[in-house]
């Protein structure tokens, strides 16, 4: 039996990687009952289309290079609607706690005395490689995986970070600098890499190349953000096209 979706609270919902069929049942139920939907830019139009016709849609997202939203203001706006008895859905691309600042928003809402529920989602860190046919772990080849953020100027310490498979989120807008930094920190320039854009949607595209050439390959193929970078031997495994023609 499904749990009821209650008014007067905020639901921090993972909207998944883009395909609405990859929402959890709980996420779909919350969205169907929502009176107000606060969403990031990366939440797909297909997912937003599942909200009720009369629901208020509030874009509180941003892209690389833009100022981040004021989390205190966003929390106050959501709290005001919840206090009026509304079901408030806070949609975040992927999973709200994987580089989504979801916990920061949860803290603010709790500080305002607003009941909250976290609805986990499928992160693009796992969904994008899988949709491209790339296993982030594979027996005898990849026994570990690391997920990092690739924000310009805030990259990981590539000289210390090591995993069989590396998944980089939010790094596609400066791929050249990112790959150059990794090679400069000691990563083998011949390490296989793949860039997967708009994963799980009809717009999905991907390209593969060695790490030191992935940026040029992406430019040549016109594969850009939003995209996920996968680095490691698993990125070079043969990947037959999945059903629906979304393979490479």
Given a cut of 70, whether residue 67 has pLDDT beyond it is no
Backbone angles phi, psi at 13, to 5 degrees: -110, 130
Q: What pLDDT score was predicted for residue 193?
A: 97
Q: What pLDDT score was predicted for residue 65?
A: 57
Q: Check which CATH number belongs to the domain holding 167 and give it.
A: 3.30.950.10
Residue 3 maps to a domain: no
Determine which helix (DSSP H) or strand (DSSP E) holds 232, and give its type and residue range: strand 227-232
- pLDDT class of 151 with cuts at 50, 70, 90: confident
Q: Check which CATH number belongs to the domain holding 82 and give it.
A: 3.40.1010.10
Residue 241 maps to a domain: no
Q: Report how far residue 178's alpha carbon sits from residue 155's, in angstroms, rounded to the nearest whole number.
A: 8
205 and 139 within one domain: yes
The mean pLDDT of 108-122, rounded to a whole number, is 97
Q: Are 22 and 123 in contact (CB under 8 A)?
A: no
- Between 241 and 95, residue with greater pLDDT: 95
Q: What pLDDT score was predicted for residue 121?
A: 97
Q: To the nearest whole number, what is the mean pLDDT of the chain?
A: 91
Q: What pLDDT score was predicted for residue 82?
A: 98
Q: What pLDDT score was predicted for residue 146?
A: 95
Name the range with the highest mean pLDDT among 99-103, 113-117, 222-226, 243-247: 113-117
151 and 110 within one domain: no
- pLDDT class of 152 with cuts at 50, 70, 90: confident
Q: What pLDDT score was predicted for residue 19?
A: 96
Q: What pLDDT score was predicted for residue 34?
A: 97
Residue 245 maps to a domain: no
Residue 232 maps to a domain: yes
| Boundaries of domain holding 209 | 124-236
Given a cut of 50, whether residue 246 has pLDDT beyond it is no
The mean pLDDT of 91-119, rounded to a whole number, is 96
pTM above threshold 0.85: yes
């Amino acid at each position: 039996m499904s749990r009821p979706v209650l008014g007067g609270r905020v639901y921090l919902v993972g909207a998944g990687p883009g395909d609405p069929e990859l929402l959890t049942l709980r996420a779909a139920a919350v969205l169907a009952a929502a009176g107000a939907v606060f969403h990031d830019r990366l939440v797909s139009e297909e997912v937003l289309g599942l909200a009720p016709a009369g629901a208020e849609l509030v874009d509180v997202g941003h892209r690389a290079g833009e100022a981040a939203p004021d989390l205190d203001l966003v929390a106050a706006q959501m709290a005001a609607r919840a206090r009026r008895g509304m079901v408030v859905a806070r949609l975040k691309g992927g999973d709200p706690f994987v580089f989504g600042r979801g916990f920061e928003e949860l803290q603010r809402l709790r500080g305002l005395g607003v009941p909250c529920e976290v609805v986990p989602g499928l992160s693009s860190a796992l969904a994008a490689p899988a949709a491209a046919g790339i296993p982030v772990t594979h027996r005898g080849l990849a026994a570990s995986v690391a997920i990092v953020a690739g924000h310009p100027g805030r990259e990981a310490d590539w000289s210390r970070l090591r995993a069989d498979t590396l998944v980089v989120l939010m790094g596609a807008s400066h791929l050249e600098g990112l790959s150059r930094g990794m090679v400069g920190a000691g990563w083998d320039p011949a390490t296989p890499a793949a860039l997967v854009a708009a994963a799980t949607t009809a717009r999905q595209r991907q390209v593969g190349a060695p790490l030191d050439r992935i940026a040029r390959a992406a430019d040549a193929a016109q594969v850009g953000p939003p995209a996920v970078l996968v680095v490691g031997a698993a990125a070079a495994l043969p990947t037959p096209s999945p059903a629906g023609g979304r393979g490479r």
